A and B are shown apart, each in its own frame.
Chain A
Amino acid sequence: MDTGAIWIIATASLVAANAAILGSFLIMRKMTMLADAISHAVLPGIVIAYFISGSRASLPVSAGAAVSGILATFLIQTLTKKMKMQEDASIGLSFTFLFAIGVVLISYFGKDIDLDQDCVLYGEIAYVALDVWKINDVSIGPRQFWILVINLIIVVGFVYLFYQRLVLTTFDPAYAASLGISIVFWLYALMGGVSLTTVLSFEAVGAILVVGFFAGLPATAYLLSNNFKQMIFIAVGLGVVASILGYFLAAWVNGSVAGAMSVIVGIEFFVALAVSKLGKFRIQPNHEKVIKPTLGKT
């Protein structure tokens, strides 16, 4: 296997890990669609930043994307919480609206800039290995890879440090609020992480695979685990497996790498579904005796 293949798999695995960790919180909050929304809604920010800065340099483009990601979150929150619209309707409306603005902008500026919807949606992971970072003329690997390493450090640090707060506001927001914990703060912190990950990932793997990772990996892990921490680790593991198998599937059929990885994520889900459903047919022994409560007598 050549080094290019290893870099592609490693880069995809990093995207998968970031999306799996954050997506696990999103799925328990029934907010997976928000990741989908953000991944599409970043488009106008990208196009505008691209047009203003005149380059595809990561920093301005990422900044532009992050701004539109947060804008989308804010728009959706306002529509649901303040305007009392249905959540799915607000999400659907916000992201198609912002994405459409992006599409219009691309076609308007299209002749001046080298950017198209396809690259935003499907990414260019096959070319990841070509864009290397050099320190003193020594190549240290693809630029995308290192950006995603930083992304992973941020995501893991955030979740590790604030794990209890994130779980509490996810499982029982009213109780969390009664302890004086700000639900809104942790929601935006989480969405900030989702925006960052989407933005830093889209260039490599495109919006479709990012969403596939955000939604598919935690949904599969949920079927296979009964402990939330374990679920996060399983989701990451499934992501790495999908990156490896997806790469070889693409090589085998000579097709899109991101597409093949998405397909593997889907296959993983259906296999897990079958396994968990079959598992339920087994008769489970009931170990704990049902005891009468002895409240207040202790």
Chain B
Amino acid sequence: MAIIEEVKNPVLEVHSLTVVYNKQPAIWNVDFTLPKGQIIGIMGPNGSGKSTLLKAIMGVVDANIGYVKVFDQEIEEVRRKVSYVPQRQSVDWDFPAQVKDVVAMGRFATRGILSRLNAEDKEIVQESLKKVGMEAFANRQIAQLSGGQQQRVFIARALAQRAELYLMDEPFAGVDASTEESIIELLNEMRNHGKTLIVVHHDLYTASDYFDWVVLLNTRLVASGPVAKVFTPEILAEAYGSRLTTLSKVADLLAERRFPMRHK
């Protein structure tokens, strides 16, 4: 039985959203609402439409059917309050630029077309780099960064936007365990300041630790709800197909966490 929990005063509403590429739907008739002030995981197998969903929410790709509301408004009205972190591989890191130039792009989000950066902007850039532990790399060529460092630069750019809602496409892809831990710590801190974070993620084992809420996608919406309700063997099997041995392990792990007494 699928779980699709609706919330009151949602930060994001998605209604019958459908995106079709070359006659193939990438997402099909997706409907959900998301609560404010939580860390929300978007999960599903490869090609299940997670990136497409984020792009459609931001208006980076056009929806064929359906619409999205952010803070109860059209995305055009609230762009300044929303920050998008694309998949790291989507840009050419050989572009001749320094780390601080990329992070500064986040400041132009709130600026007019002809404006230049002022001292306050530069301070915010430095501060954002510090938050991701990259302040020593401000003048580094972006071509010389490791994958995990690139990821942190992208997060710093989003932080520099000072948004309320963050949509991050696989911020944990290709980062080492300690960086992953520090990123999730940062996300927790942001959540505690009332920000909402929507994060595409692949690892089922860590998902229940990281997220308050999970959206499971497989072209169609499989489930949307608090992580404890969504992570049942049946629902996971519906999203990922039932053959995965991982799934039963994840379910066991969750059962263990939910009823820890039995094992003590």
> Which of B29-37, B90-98, B197-205, B242-250 participates in binding chain A?
B90-98
Contact yes or no, A228 B133, CB < 8 A: no
Whether A293 contacts B133 in the complex (CB less than 8 A), given A172-B105, A227-B96, comes out as: yes
Whether A296 contacts B182 in the complex (CB less than 8 A), given A177-B60, A226-B141, comes out as: yes
Contact yes or no, A174 B76, CB < 8 A: no
Residues of B within 8 A of A230 (CB): 96
- A215–B152 CA distance with the chains assembled, in angstroms: 33
> Which of A125-133, A161-169, A195-203 participates in binding chain B?
A161-169
Chain A, range 116-134, C-beta contacts under 8 Å to B: none
Q: Is A136 an interface residue (CB 8 A)?
A: no
Contact yes or no, B131 A295, CB < 8 A: yes
Residues of B within 8 A of A225 (CB): 96
State which of B79, B134, B178 has its C-beta within 8 Å of the C-beta of A179: B79
A161 to chain B: closest CB distance in Å?
Answer: 6
A291, closest chain B residue (CB): B136
Q: Is A280 an interface residue (CB 8 A)?
A: no
Chain B interface size, as a band, is: 35 or more
> Which of B2-10, B185-193, B220-228 participates in binding chain A?
B185-193
Whether A171 contacts B113 in the complex (CB less than 8 A), given A292-B178, A295-B186, A298-B130, comes out as: no
Residues of A within 8 A of B185 (CB): 295-297
Residues of A within 8 A of B96 (CB): 222, 225-228, 230-231
Contact yes or no, B137 A288, CB < 8 A: yes
Residues of B within 8 A of A289 (CB): 136
- A84–B179 CA distance with the chains assembled, in angstroms: 39
Q: Is B229 an interface residue (CB 8 A)?
A: no
State which of A168, A171, A288, A291 has its C-beta within 8 Å of the C-beta of B133: A291
B164 to chain A: closest CB distance in Å?
Answer: 15
Q: Is B254 an interface residue (CB 8 A)?
A: no
Q: Mostly helix, strand, loop or mixed at chain A's interface?
A: loop
- A228–B95 CA distance with the chains assembled, in angstroms: 8
Q: How many residue pairs, one in A and one in B, have C-beta atoms under 8 Å apart?
A: 104
State which of A165, A175, A227, A293 has its C-beta within 8 Å of the C-beta of B86: A175
- A291–B148 CA distance with the chains assembled, in angstroms: 13
Chain A, range 216-234, C-beta contacts under 8 Å to B: 222, 225-228, 230-231
- A293–B141 CA distance with the chains assembled, in angstroms: 18
Q: Mostly helix, strand, loop or mixed at chain B's interface?
A: helix
Residues of A within 8 A of B134 (CB): 293
Q: Is B14 an interface residue (CB 8 A)?
A: no
Contact yes or no, A168 B105, CB < 8 A: yes
Choose among A171, A231, A289, A295 the residue with the greatest number of B CB atoms under 10 Å from its CB. A295
Q: Is B119 an interface residue (CB 8 A)?
A: no
Q: Is B261 an interface residue (CB 8 A)?
A: no
Contact yes or no, B60 A293, CB < 8 A: no
Residues of B within 8 A of A231 (CB): 96
Digit string of A163-198 for contact with B (CB within 8 Å is 1, else 0)? 011001011101101111000000000000000000
Q: Is B230 an interface residue (CB 8 A)?
A: no
Residues of B within 8 A of A180 (CB): 59, 76, 79
B166 to chain A: closest CB distance in Å?
Answer: 11
- A227–B101 CA distance with the chains assembled, in angstroms: 10
Contact yes or no, A178 B58, CB < 8 A: yes
Chain A, range 250-298, C-beta contacts under 8 Å to B: 288-289, 291-298
Contact yes or no, B105 A175, CB < 8 A: yes
Q: Is A28 an interface residue (CB 8 A)?
A: yes
Chain B, range 15-73, C-beta contacts under 8 Å to A: 22, 55, 58-60
Choose among A172, A228, A292 the residue with the greatest number of B CB atoms under 10 Å from its CB. A172
A286, closest chain B residue (CB): B144
B9 to chain A: closest CB distance in Å?
Answer: 24
Choose among A171, A228, A230 the residue with the greatest number of B CB atoms under 10 Å from its CB. A171
- A226–B99 CA distance with the chains assembled, in angstroms: 12
5 contacts between A and B (CB under 8 A): A164-B108, A174-B55, A228-B97, A228-B101, A292-B178
Given contacts A174-B86, A175-B86, 10 further A-B contacts (CB under 8 A): A161-B114, A164-B105, A164-B108, A170-B95, A174-B90, A178-B83, A231-B96, A288-B137, A296-B182, A297-B182
B-contacting residues of A (Cβ < 8 Å)?
Answer: 28, 84, 161-162, 164-165, 168, 170-172, 174-175, 177-180, 222, 225-228, 230-231, 288-289, 291-298
Q: Kindly list the 4 A-B residue pairs having the minimum CB-CB distance in the complex, ordered from nearest.
A: A293-B133, A295-B182, A296-B186, A178-B84
